[in-house]
Amino acid sequence: MFGVGGGTSSYREIEETDVILLWGSNARETHPIFFHHVLQGARNGARMFVVDPRRTSSAQWADRWLGIDVGTDITLAHAVGREILAAGLENREFIERATSGFETYRECVQPFTLEYAERETGVPAEAVRELAHDYARAGRAQLCWTLGITEHHNAVDNVLALINLALLTGHVGRWGSGLCPIRGQNNVQGSGDMGALPDRLPGFQHVENDALRAKFERAWGCAIPPKRGWRLNEMFDAMERGDLTAAYVLGENPVSSEADKNRILGLMQGLECLVVQDLFLTQTAEIADVVLPAGAGWSESEGTVTSSERKVQRMRRATAPPEGAKDDLEILFAIANALGAAWGRPDPEALWNELRSLSPMHGGMSYERLERLGGIRWPCYDESHPGEQFLHSRLWADPLIGPRAPFSAVEDSRAVDKLNAEYPIRLTTGRRLDSYNTGVQSALFPSPLRREETLDLSPEDGERLALQEYERVMVRSRRGAVTAPVRFDPGLRPGLAFMTPHFPDQVDTNKLTIDAVDPKSGTAEFKATAIRVDKIEAPLGGD
Amino acid sequence: METNANPDAPDLKIPVPRGPVPDVPRRERAAAVEMTVDGRAVAVPAGATLLDACRQAGVETPTLCYLENLTPVNVCRVCVVELEGSRTLVPACSRKAEAGMSVRTDSERVRLSRRMVLEFLASATDVSTAPELRGYMTEYGAAPDRYGNGSERAATVAQPVKIDNDLYIRDYSKCILCYKCVEACGEDAQNTFAIAVAGRGFDAEISTEYDVPLTESACVYCGNCIGVCPTGALMSKTERDMREAGSWDEARQERTDTICPYCGVGCTLTVHTQEKRIVKVSSPLDQEVTRGHLCIKGRFGWQFVQNIDGGQSPGDERAASENDA
Amino acid sequence: MDLHFTADEPTAAEISAVDSVLGAAASRWAGGGRGDNEAQTSRGGHGARADRHLLLPVLHAIHGRVGWISPGALNYACRRLHVPPAEAFGVADFYALFSTKPRPPLTARVCDDIACRVRGAEELCARLEADLGPAGEPCRGGEAAWFRSPCLGHCERAPAVLIAESGKRRRECVLAPASAEEVGGHLTRGGAAQAAALPAAVSVPQAGQPQLKLLQRVGRVDPESPDDYRAHGGFAALARARAKGREWVIEQVLRSHLLGRGGAAFPAGRKWQAVAARGGRKYLVCNADESEPGTFKDRVLMEGDPFAVIEAMAIAAFATGCQKGFIYIRGEYPLATARLQHALRAARAAGLLDGGCDIELRRGAGAYICGEETALFNSIEGFRGEPRNKPPYPTDSGLFGRPTLVNNVETLVNVPRIVLAGGDAYAASGTGGSAGPKLFCLSGRVARPGVYEADFGISVRGLIELAGGVSGSGKLQAALVGGAAGAFLSPSELDTPFTFEGMRAVGAAVGSAVVMPFDDTVDLSIILLRIAEFFRDETCGQCVPCRIGAVRQEELLQRLHRGGPLGSTEQEMKLLKEIGQVMRDASICGLGQTASSAVESALDRFPIFR
């Protein structure tokens, strides 16, 4: 945020903060060890708020749970902001010195009264008020979120609406106060750091900045396209148009993991050439022209990953890839060599040092220091720099260093897949504790917690539809249909349903989801699908 | 962020300038506390324990219920030392050092208490998979047979092993009631509270509510209880199976630290390999993200990397999990 | 908290029992129905977790209603209190009065501990076994069961039996002295007529004598009437304390040289001073968990003069600035509990607790260890009654981690006297090292068992003579002083003054001021085995020296008793000494540290097992 893509605070700070606000995150199950730090914070006296449509296991720990209706996050955030202003609890001094766009923001949130928020989000006004006042009055506060915020058609606006709250209260750039997106995958932060974004080179250096691009061109001895590339959703659109005809997919399983599966499968099958590099023969690999068996990064190769607290840590090889499979780098080098680039053999440390020479924020992170310090948080400019425990202390420097942090008067909008009489139930998705994404890794250990994939409904909906628990039902959305057993979860309320993407072979949840994509981030609205649930009439002779 | 509704927003193509190194509060390290251990002067930071002082003085102190990542419960009493002016011996693991304290660790009184504690434990418990405890027994000359052997058996905690899930076993015949697993399952780490001490006195034991199987309990299989168990009462099924087959051999195991492949928290995993196969995963106690604690995926979710070649090697449970999937 | 519950559901009776303590569930998330309430918000966190201290009262309510703690009831209690079921089970399972398995609604607990044992307990048990079947087994068509019990604290009326009937109308009473017929009569639904409360003179043979200070009102005042208490000089000390001010009161307690009567003999004034100096929330705790075998003096005070306890607590709270008080009374004292509850209500209604500190009564549930002050704190807080390591001491970090003044009943009852007479005058009574009047518990083989009051300085012989001398053969073999954690004295040591310093000189301790003579017809080895059994049953199990040491001590004595030592008797004696030493040196709390004391003192003095 404010120009660099990473959470501002470290885990230790959440143990020493006064208010913890988890928004759209069930960290208890999806980030269990991060949640240990959250609980330590609570034990040290912090008050905890959880905003989530479901009363999740994380929500059960909260001093206050706010069970918003799916897709009303901006409404709630704006109402919190308005209430902070109405109560005069904003941090005037910080706003004036370090931010821009405040007046526009103030006007933008004016209509979002507590009453309006209660009507739109379903959360009682007094709960919204309590959150607003506690967050604003806190000496230190951490605002953390996960995919509940970002898997929406307006993901970036959702994030910006939360950032506004930190700017309004000065809860950023100070010890114990910050904004923390907790990353869903072990190196999603690192991928961004390394430039696996359509508009960035390593170290978040913008590809359209001529001077920066020239630096890379000099180092690499080649020309870099001067314009930003496509996001994932734009690639699918390009496939549809016929502009994109070949894809090289590394460690991803888009056929299973992307929304509106039927469409994605068709597009990928229509490619002239599909190369998949993966550990397993995933659903995507099954339709590939070429499959390159890869090793497991975490245990079969050398390198680094970056965590949600921006900490770069060493990954080390404990075992060799199985016969026939190769380390990712070896494969990439072999391809480059075969294309005539003469890269030779990969040396992970040499590659890392090249990165350090080009990315100022990684400059001080030698392998030796990473080893000795057990990881370093970026930015770390040189070998005498300790790395930044938290970001944006510049906003509190006097005089301010760098540009002001902008408020964003983002517009509120509702989920794309509307509820109506035909599709009256809101389906949202998420992870379970013992499983991960499409189950490629997690399905292979004997978890005692594992149970068949279900459609989770509130007990009231179960009763209304005259369903028995674990009875198989037909679930339909505007895009597809699946059958699944139902399970009753008292943490859900009438009209709210939940599924996971973990078992595509059992229940292909993403046949239901909508690929309404956020134009700013390319993320689909996995969190808000309109469905209907129908009883399947028992076959003859059945019970 | 990519774009934004604020016309005053800074140009994202221009890098944000370098700011000052943020000010991180140091945990207070107040003036050193000076005291003596076995006559040797040592200085430890305020808040340090007598165990810290002993270690600083280079004095080996046995511990069983103590672990760096848990709150000291001082129940095993094997770390007791003689503190000048105290009527009783005091537990080194939890007693805070104070200026001017004089501690003896080598007195006959200390040795007797330590020996008796070890004898008591070994007379009541199966210590066959507790190498540390057995080492202490040798050092202190503990003779558990003094309390009975053969027909004249002393009471023990022997009971059938509990195997109620595919990830780990609980063999409470080996339990010395050190409370570590309860702490790791509870407030010190996982906060799941699936197990607690039930009963009282010699009959006290670690239990779920009404001794229901783990599969009906609150257990989330993080395995942090296994990670802290000092006697092998709690053990992963992989390790147990290998021990039963006689193939578990720690001397031939290598450890490699890497980062967990699942979510984005960045937990350090110590991968234990034997004959180039993963047999166990743990986490270093001094690692600031995990403090030695993991979740079910981190501790047990590694099998996907070694399912390729069949299943004859240790730790491979592919067949079972494939059925599951 | 993200609690997990088994599928067991509570019955309507169990729900109503829990609700009788907590009120009806306010939200669906805490066990209430799934109406429209709080569908999209909930409260939890710190506020919800703060109710855990109600766990023990809730368990009592369930047990009193249905006779055991069922999984469904535990689930509901845990949902209401935000306590993990495994922990709540560990708490329920800790206490001897609770059962976590189905149990008949009618129970009789027959004391077979040392004082009752020499006054007919074994004969009573034999009769019950003949009439009802073996101990611990359901009888009378599954409606009733009887159990053996450690000391019930009614030693002056031995043998004692605690009767309990669970149900809508819960019934609890102590029969003492009890006969098999009477026990049988009470083990029916609705029970026989309530056990008649014996006249106080049975427990206090000195009742009515003019020199009495601590016992002055016992047997003379109506224990249920605040007006009668006032008419007998009650509440004058509280008024004087309030008039003179906090500092003055603490000064008087300091000058009185009052030493704690709970066993540890710590100067009460220093505790008061330390707590008074602390800021913030502070607690006052009256330790009424009198469970030392042979001890019943606090019970007699609470039954006979309950307002005195409350007045003393009001003075203590006023002087030290405590905002909240607890009386923690052992679960085996139904009459004292009822009297105190009544007195608390009356005192509250009369405005006597106004402006100061409210006082709540909490019942233990059968655990000797909870008399240890830090175990008592854990018990009140809803945890297992396991002692904490000290330091920190209660005056720094006690109940709920806050500074806490904890005094036992007798200590507190001295306070009004000190306030009225002044500290100096109080200090002038007794001896130099042991100021003031003292209550002694005479039981066992004495002619007139009971609580006796005498100024410190009286000898053990003097006390036995006060109680009419040794009964049985009339020839003293040994006297247990201080309690089961005390020491045996030989007849040649009877002239020892029963003072802190006098007892220390012969390797004994004042303890709970038990004097239990045994004539020469008593088999002391049986008494020692019962003491060893007591500690084996009552060790909490937390620390190794006590948990295993108590068992090894008992096993060893059993071997000697059977005449089958491992190796030689000398080897066994050496081993016993080593067991005693590790328990004394390395146990966490006083229980383990003194669990071998009586046994060792006896073997040092008498040729038992040889």
Residues C279 and C398 in one domain: yes
Residues A34 and A173 in one domain: yes
> What per-residue confidence (pLDDT) applies to C373?
97
CB contact under 8 A, A61 and C3: no
> What per-residue confidence (pLDDT) applies to B26?
78
CB atoms within 10 A of CB C102: 11
Residues C37 and C88 in one domain: yes
Is the model's pLDDT at A284 over the cut of 70? yes
Sort A141 into a burial class: Cβ within 10 Å, 0-12 / 13-18 / 19+: buried
Average pLDDT over residues A41-60: 97
- At which of C372, C398, C426 does a domain end? C426
Q: How far is B309 from chain C (nearest CA, A)?
A: 39
Is the model's pLDDT at B318 over the cut of 70? no
Average pLDDT over residues C74-93: 97
Q: How far is B207 from chain A (nearest CA, A)?
A: 18
Determine the Cα–Cα distance for residues C364 and B128; give it in Å rounded to an integer.
40
β-bridge pairing A376-377 and A311-315:
antiparallel
> What per-residue confidence (pLDDT) applies to A146?
93
How confident is the prediction for chain A on average, in pLDDT?
A: 94
Q: Which residues of C touch A28 (CB under 8 A)?
A: 2
Within the 213-272 window of chain A, which residues sit less than 8 Å (CB to CB) from chain B? none
| DSSP 3-state of C417 | helix
Residues C378 and C493 in one domain: no
| DSSP 3-state of C354 | coil
Asked whether residue C331 is domain-assigned, the answer is yes
Subunit partners of chain A (3 or more CB pairs within 8 A):
B, C
Residues C407 and C550 in one domain: no
Residues C495 and C554 in one domain: no
Closest chain A residue to the Cα of C79, Cα to Cα: A60
Is the model's pLDDT at A444 over the cut of 60? yes
Is the model's pLDDT at C190 over the cut of 80? no
Is the model's pLDDT at A531 over the cut of 50? yes
Question: By mean pLDDT, which of A314-323, B143-152, C256-265 is the weakest?
Answer: B143-152
Is the model's pLDDT at A25 over the cut of 80? yes
Question: By mean pLDDT, which of A433-437, B307-311, C36-40 is the weakest?
Answer: B307-311
Q: What is the pLDDT of residues C510-564, one digit of tens each?
A: 999 999 999 999 999 999 999 999 999 999 999 999 999 999 999 999 999 999 9
Is the model's pLDDT at C196 over the cut of 80? no
Q: What is the pLDDT of residues C95-125, one digit of tens each?
A: 999 999 999 999 999 999 999 999 999 999 9
Residues A350 and A458 in one domain: no
CB contact under 8 A, A65 and C2: no
Asked whether residue C4 is domain-assigned, the answer is no
Average pLDDT over residues C271-281: 97
- At which of C488, C503, C519 does a domain end? C519
Instruction: Please give the residue range of the domain that contains residue C530.
Output: 524-605
Average pLDDT over residues A421-430: 96
Average pLDDT over residues C191-207: 78
Subunit partners of chain B (3 or more CB pairs within 8 A):
A, C
Closest chain A residue to the Cα of B309, Cα to Cα: A322
**CATH 2.40.40.20 is right for the domain spanning B157-248:** no
CB contact under 8 A, B288 and A394: no
Domain spans in chain B, listed from the N-terminal domain onward = 157-248
Q: How far is C81 from chain A (nearest CA, A)?
A: 13
Is the model's pLDDT at A59 over the cut of 70? yes
Of C283, C212, C219, C217, nearest in space to C453 by CA: C212
Provide the pLDDT confidence category of residue A506 given band limits of 50, 70 and 90: confident
Residues A144 and A51 in one domain: yes
Residues C26 and C76 in one domain: yes
Asked whether residue C214 is domain-assigned, the answer is no
Asked whether residue A373 is domain-assigned, the answer is yes
Element (H, E) at C85: helix C85-92
How confident is the prediction for chain B on average, in pLDDT?
A: 90
Average pLDDT over residues C138-152: 97
Asked whether residue A520 is domain-assigned, the answer is yes
CB contact under 8 A, A61 and C47: no
Residue A406, token pair as written in the block: 């902008």
Question: By mean pLDDT, which of A178-187, B124-133, C432-441 is the weakest?
Answer: A178-187
Residues C382 and C233 in one domain: yes
CB contact under 8 A, B123 and C94: no
Chain A touched by C50 (CB under 8 Å)? no
Is the model's pLDDT at B308 over the cut of 80? no
Q: Print the SS3 string covering A257-319.
A: HCCCHHHHHHHHHCCCEEEEEECCCCHHHHCCCEEEEECCHHHHCCEEEECCCCEEEEECCCC
> What per-residue confidence (pLDDT) applies to C13?
97
So what's the ipTM on this one? 0.95
Work out how many domains chain C is built from and give that number. 5
Query: Which residue has better confidence, B24 or A365?
Result: A365
> What per-residue confidence (pLDDT) applies to B7?
64
> What per-residue confidence (pLDDT) applies to A4?
67
Residues A284 and A429 in one domain: no
Average pLDDT over residues C443-461: 97
Asked whether residue A413 is domain-assigned, the answer is no
Residue B215, token pair as written in the block: 């599969």
Determine the Cα–Cα distance for residues A425 and B242; give it in Å rounded to an integer.
50
> What per-residue confidence (pLDDT) applies to A445?
87
Closest chain A residue to the Cα of B184, Cα to Cα: A36
Is the model's pLDDT at A487 over the cut of 80? yes
Asked whether residue C158 is domain-assigned, the answer is yes
Residues A299 and A216 in one domain: yes
* Cross-chain CB nearest to A61 (options C1, C34, C40): C1
Provide the pLDDT confidence category of residue C356 given band limits of 50, 70 and 90: confident
> What per-residue confidence (pLDDT) applies to A1?
61
CATH of the domain at C314: 3.40.50.11540
Phi/psi for B12 (5° steps) reads -70, -15
Provide the pLDDT confidence category of residue C27 given band limits of 50, 70 and 90: confident
Is the model's pLDDT at A3 over the cut of 80? no
Q: What is the pLDDT of residues A297-315, one digit of tens each?
A: 889 999 999 999 999 999 9
> What per-residue confidence (pLDDT) applies to C261?
95
> What per-residue confidence (pLDDT) applies to A51?
98
CB contact under 8 A, A436 and B263: yes
B208, B209, B211, B221, best to mutate vs chain C, most C CBs in 10 Å: B209
Work out how many domains chain A is built from and give that number. 3
Residues A231 and A346 in one domain: yes
Q: What is the DSSP string of A152-189?
A: STTHHHHHHHHHHHHHHHT-SSBTTBEEEEPPSSTTHH
Residue A161, token pair as written in the block: 């609406």
Asked whether residue A24 is domain-assigned, the answer is yes
Average pLDDT over residues C275-294: 97
Q: What is the pLDDT of residues C337-353, one digit of tens each?
A: 999 999 999 999 988 88
> What per-residue confidence (pLDDT) applies to B283?
97
CB contact under 8 A, C93 and B200: yes
Provide the pLDDT confidence category of residue B322 given band limits of 50, 70 and 90: very low
- At which of C519, C548, C573 does a domain end? C519
B66, B77, B125, best to mutate vs chain C, most C CBs in 10 Å: B77
* Cross-chain CB nearest to C45 (options A61, A69, A123): A61
Instruction: Please give the residue range of the domain that contains residue A432.
Output: 425-535
Provide the pLDDT confidence category of residue A452 given band limits of 50, 70 and 90: confident
Is the model's pLDDT at A524 over the cut of 90? no
CB contact under 8 A, C44 and A459: no
How many percent of chain B have pLDDT more than 90? 81
Q: How far is C321 from chain A (nearest CA, A)?
A: 25
Q: Which residues of B touch A441 (CB under 8 A)?
A: 261-262, 301, 304
Q: Is the pTM of this model over 0.80?
A: yes
> What per-residue confidence (pLDDT) applies to B85?
96
Residues C596 and C512 in one domain: no
Q: Which residues of A touch C3 (CB under 8 A)?
A: 60
Determine the Cα–Cα distance for residues B218 and B213; give it in Å rounded to an integer.
10
- At which of A362, A377, A392 does a domain end? A377
Is the model's pLDDT at A169 over the cut of 60? yes
CA-to-CA separations, C419 to B13, C94, C317, C439, in angstroms, rounded: 81, 40, 14, 19
Residues C83 and C139 in one domain: no
Q: What is the pLDDT of residues B276-306, one digit of tens each?
A: 899 999 999 999 999 999 999 999 999 888 8
Provide the pLDDT confidence category of residue A260 given band limits of 50, 70 and 90: confident
Residues C157 and C301 in one domain: no
